[in-house]
């Protein structure tokens, strides 16, 4: 653990919302990152992007994470794997994706996560009405299957805003009562009406992913946001009481984002 810079101050219980940071800030494994970050934040976003068994925590590591949560007065949210797809064209691939996600949910259950964030990717080159309808049917069936494969209520899952109009997922969210993960960086990057999306799903939003966007790049420090987008973010955060995860993946970007966030919130007081 030596050689890694610690964050300059603690932000634990500093905001009306729950502040979360990712589990990959330092170039090290999951446990060392949590040990470095746990006393500075309210929650850790456990990034489980890769689904291979050797990429997932062991049961022993989950027990360690649970103990660290007690030691640091810490909670967790889980980002489910993104290298498998619930919207794959192949039924067998979708079934495998559900099976793997179900196993990840069981593995991490002792952590009592605030939410499980899930992607419903749209990778079709065409956005015709027929293609979108087919994708919606596939996504709907996969999410129904995921719910039936385990015992958690739908509210424990947050469907993330990605690179397509999020209203495409409306029926899924409404019919099952899923939560929403508003990724503000994605909304900015793909030139959505950010405030309109936030307002529409305000009652369902359990977690916000927050990161900078500049010149077509996202997941960078928040201070790279334009003045207009910074003001939009400030207004969105003011009434929010859920989880805000600073979804950046380096110490430099996190440290700069924490400073920006503090100034952003201060300016609203």
Alpha-carbon distance 232 to 226, whole Å? 10
Output DSSP code: residue 212: E
**What is the predicted pLDDT for the residue at 197?**
98
Task: Give the start-to-end residue ranges of the domains of the chain.
Answer: 18-266
Euclidean distance between CA atoms 174 and 172, whole angstroms:
6
228, 217, 231: which is closest to 263 by C-alpha? 231
Task: Write phi, then psi, for 20 (nearest 5 degrees).
Answer: -125, 145
| Residue-wise pLDDT tens digits, 55-75 | 999 999 999 999 999 999 999
**At the topology level of CATH, where does 18-266 sit?**
TIM Barrel (3.20.20)
Identify the burial level of 147 via C-beta atoms within 10 angstroms of its C-beta, where 0-12 means exposed, 13-18 middle and 19 or more buried: middle
pLDDT of residue 266: 80
Q: Are 197 and 231 in contact (CB under 8 A)?
A: no
Residues 89, 156, 47, 260: is their CA dihedral positive or negative?
positive
Give phi and psi for 214, each to the nearest 5: -160, 130
CA distance 38 to 31: 10
pLDDT of residue 2: 61
pLDDT at 259: 97
260: helix, strand or coil: helix
**What pLDDT sits at residue 268?**
62
Angle at 107 (CA atoms; ends 102, 110), nearest 5 degrees:
120
Q: How many Å is the Cα radius of gyration of the chain?
A: 18
- Paired tokens of 49: 């992007």
Q: What is the mean pLDDT of each run of 10 residues along the chain (269 residues)?
A: 88 98 98 98 98 97 99 99 98 98 98 99 95 98 96 98 98 98 98 97 98 97 97 96 98 98 81
Cα–Cα distance for residue pair 99/103, rounded to 1 Å: 6
Helix axes 91-108, 59-72, angle to 10 degrees: 50
| The pLDDT value given to residue 45 | 99
Phi and psi at 243, nearest 5°, equal -95, 135
- Reported as type and span, the H/E element at residue 22 is strand 18-22
Q: Which two tokens stand for residue 135?
A: 């994708």
Q: Full-prediction pTM beyond 0.95? A: yes
């Amino acid at each position: 653990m030596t050689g890694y810079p610690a964050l300059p101050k603690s932000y634990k219980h500093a905001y009306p919302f729950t502040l979360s940071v990712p589990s990959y800030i330092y170039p090290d494994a999951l446990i060392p990152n949590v040990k470095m970050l746990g006393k500075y934040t309210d929650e850790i976003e456990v990034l489980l992007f890769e689904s291979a068994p050797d990429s997932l925590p062991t049961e022993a590591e989950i027990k360690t994470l649970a103990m660290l949560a007690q030691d640091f007065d810490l909670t967790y949210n889980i980002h489910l794997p993104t290298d498998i797809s619930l919207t794959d064209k192949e039924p067998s691939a979708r079934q495998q994706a559900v099976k793997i996600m179900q196993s990840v949910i069981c593995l991490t259950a002792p952590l009592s996560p605030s939410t499980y964030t899930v992607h419903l990717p749209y990778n079709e080159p065409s956005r015709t009405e027929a293609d979108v309808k087919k994708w919606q049917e596939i996504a709907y069936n996969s999410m129904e299957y995921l719910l039936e494969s385990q015992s958690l209520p739908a509210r424990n899952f947050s469907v993330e805003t990605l690179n397509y109009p999020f209203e495409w997922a409306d029926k899924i969210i409404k019919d099952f009562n899923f939560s929403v993960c508003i990724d503000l960086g994605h909304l900015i990057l793909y030139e959505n009406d950010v405030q309109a999306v936030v307002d529409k799903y305000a009652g369902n939003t359990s977690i916000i992913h927050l990161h900078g966007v500049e010149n077509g790049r996202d997941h960078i420090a928040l201070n790279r946001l334009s003045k207009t987008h910074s003001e939009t973010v400030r207004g969105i955060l003011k009434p929010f009481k859920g989880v805000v995860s600073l979804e950046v993946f380096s110490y430099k970007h996190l440290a700069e984002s924490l400073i920006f966030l503090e100034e952003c919130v201060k300016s609203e007081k």
